[in-house]
Structure 1
Amino acid sequence: MTSTDPRTTVPKPGLWTRIQMASIEQLHIRLESLIVLIALATLMAILSPFFLSVSNFMNILLATSTIGVLAIAATYVLSSGGLDLSLGSVLGLSGVVGAAVAVKLGMPTPIAVLATIAAGAAAGLINGLVITRAFVPAFIVTLGMLGIARGLALVLSDGRVIYGLPKAMVYLGQGRPFGVPMPVIILVATAFVMHVLLAYTRYGRHTLAIGDNENAARTAGINVERHRLTLYTLSGGLAGLAGLLFATRINSGDPTAGITYELTAITAAIIGGTNLFGGRGSILGTMIGALIMGVLQNGLNLLAVQSYYQQMAIGAVLVLAVFIDQYQIRKESRV
């Protein structure tokens, strides 16, 4: 009979060690995503002679700016083991609120901008309060907010688009300092701040810890409920920022804006390496995922593929991304 010497037993990695290991593994996932992006862009360039034009490249970046901000929000919530299905509707509501404050109430641009982002943050705060205080599953809460935010946007706008935003506000969506679209600059700045927050701060470590093992996070002294509340508020605020970019780009507050955008944002986050079930997230990877979705949608538009086929393609990509992510996890667990 043989016995195992406890001195030779390999200890199980601690919570923080597993998070650091997951961060290292994200480098490989981002590399794979980058290869997919290059391959997809090459394919679209072959299929359409207009794909490689400068104007089309700018169109891709502009479209990616809105989805990219939403995808950052999805990354934070997903990496904590949560889910936010209300992102697209909150985007639409925020744009309507900002347009109503600027056009109907005649408020200055700074107030309208703050109102746009605050509307999104308020919706996220409500999500977080119901999830953490009433203990209702995030899927149900954010699905409910999806309908509430969309309905409220229609009520505030009387079901009509609110046109005529102030020039200073429109500049945020249509301005091009140094030839670079302003929404792209805002996206890059947002991604940089959110990357530093997730990868190099205690807040980011706590976010990943909750997603990796909520019970262990509680044992480590993390106030899980309070942290989740801030995460959903942050998610709503980022959706509000995305609504601001969308509204100022089209110079109007559209109550139907952002329909199914949450699906695209979640897909981009997962493609970039964020685990659907929490414990792993990468803002850099999410940006690559957002570019993949932008290139895919742009290429399908150039090829005159009808919109409902595009929705089918996005849904298929989401299922494929989750399948690959879970396959990698199972493969690593067997090693």
Structure 2
Amino acid sequence: MADTTRGPVMETGSGASGAHAHRPTALSLGLRLLNVGPLLILLLLVLVVSALTPNFLKPGNLGNILAQTAVIAIVAMGQQLVILTRGIDLSVGANLALATVMGGLVSRVVDSAPLVMLAMLAAGALVGAVNGLVYVFGRLPHPFIITLATLSICRGLALQFSINNTTMRGMPPAVTWLGESSALGLPNSFFVVAAVAAVLLVVTKFMVWGRWIYAVGGNPKAAVEMGIPVKWVVVSTYLIAGLCAGIGAVVLSGRTAASSPLYGNLLELDTIAAVIIGGASFLGGRGHLGHALVGALMIGVIRNALNLLNVGIFFQMIAIGLIIVVAVESDVLRNHLEARARVNQARGQ
């Protein structure tokens, strides 16, 4: 009897352990697919579009895509850092417009590319610093409030300082070279994107400050207990987001050889969409710069493909919106699978 009873128990235990052994494997596979999903979708999208429109893969068109997505990619990388801390910056588009106007005003006074670019970078960084300082030390419940306010303020200041001009023509040659010229078969703006990505990659992956950002976004209370300067880490992310808006202003004003208070319209939505479409999470503490870059490229490819297929602008907006919904649902599914994986791991232990 003892042997008979022990036999089934051993078999049941073996079966259970086998089931637990397979579940984490299936879950981990699902999580991996979700993590690389945006990149796979981008590659599939490129294959489909290239089959539908032979002009898509021509070097000139690919260069146009890189040039058109450069501003979104640069600003989205700053937005990525803010989202990592469970925040959001709605002011980046208006911030970029104000920065271009500041650069345009400086270019009218002095024909100096370094000073013009410095004015745009300083304007963007200043707005970002205001966002972070007011949010943190003003003890606002959510950054949505202050960044929505600065969105309106920056757009109003840009319109005021533009001296009733919707477009202010003229930029120093060095700025236009940076925005519209090419080198090695690639637009110069591509190298700006690569430089910003390289700097932020080093900062986030190999410096303590980068680990602090992930800690603050992952668990703010635990970060405080660990002695991390949470408030200043959050402020720094908004400052960098503003600086990225300033860099985007340099690229855009160089590409158009002009500044305008109307630039950056809905850029905040494009950058948020790029980050989320790329696979980052609104929950904070998870994601990397590759998400922003993949998302920006996906937006650029979709818009370019729909243009080549003569699809109206309204349908382009619908397509981007649908992709955002899919991306958010993918994030929800990823969180659910991760929770199940943790439960199964705990049961296995």
Q: TM-score scaled to structure 1, two decimals?
A: 0.88
Which segment drifts farther, 299-308 or 288-297? 299-308
Aligned match for 1:57, one of 62, 73, 79: 62
Whole-Å separation in 1 of the counterparts to 2:217 and 2:287: 10
8 Å Cα contact 1:30-1:288 kept in structure 2: no
1:159, CA displacement in angstroms?
Answer: 3.9
Matched, 1:43 2:48: yes
1:27, CA displacement in angstroms?
Answer: 7.1
Summarize the Cα distance change of 1:304–1:151 in structure 2 as closer, same or farther, 3 Å threshold: farther
Correspondence 1:42-121 to 2 at 5 A: 42-102=47-107, 104-121=108-125
1:274, CA displacement in angstroms?
Answer: 1.7
8 Å Cα contact 2:38-2:295 kept in structure 1: yes
Whole-Å separation in 2 of the counterparts to 1:307 and 1:204: 38
- Gaps (5+ residues) in structure 1? 1-24
Tell me the percent identity: 35
Aligned AA (1:122): L
Whole-Å separation in 2 of the counterparts to 1:168 and 1:174: 10
Aligned AA (2:62): F
Map of 1:259 onto structure 2: 265
Matched, 1:230 2:211: no
Correspondence 1:120-135 to 2 at 5 A: 120-135=124-139
Whole-Å separation in 1 of the counterparts to 2:314 and 2:262: 16
Correspondence 1:71-220 to 2 at 5 A: 71-102=76-107, 104-136=108-140, 137-157=142-162, 158-220=164-226
Whole-Å separation in 1 of the counterparts to 2:161 and 2:40: 44
Cα distance per residue 1:176-199 (max 9 Å; x no partner): 233321100010111111112112
**Aligned length in residues:** 310
Q: TM-score scaled to structure 2, two decimals?
A: 0.85
Whole-Å separation in 2 of the counterparts to 1:245 and 1:296: 22
8 Å Cα contact 2:31-2:337 kept in structure 1: no
8 Å Cα contact 1:26-1:273 kept in structure 2: no
Cα distance per residue 1:86-134 (max 9 Å; x no partner): 11111111111112211x2224110110110110001101111110111
Which segment drifts farther, 204-213 or 166-175? 166-175
Summarize the Cα distance change of 1:250–1:134 in structure 2 as closer, same or farther, 3 Å threshold: same
Whole-Å separation in 2 of the counterparts to 1:284 and 1:333: 24
Which segment drifts farther, 324-333 or 172-181? 172-181
Superposed CA RMSD: 1.6
Cα distance per residue 1:245-276 (max 9 Å; x no partner): 11100110021111111111111112223211
Aligned AA (1:108): S
1:231, CA displacement in angstroms?
Answer: 1.0
8 Å Cα contact 1:34-1:288 kept in structure 2: yes
8 Å Cα contact 2:216-2:230 kept in structure 1: yes
Summarize the Cα distance change of 1:308–1:150 in structure 2 as closer, same or farther, 3 Å threshold: farther
8 Å Cα contact 1:273-1:281 kept in structure 2: yes
Rg comparison, structure with higher value: 2
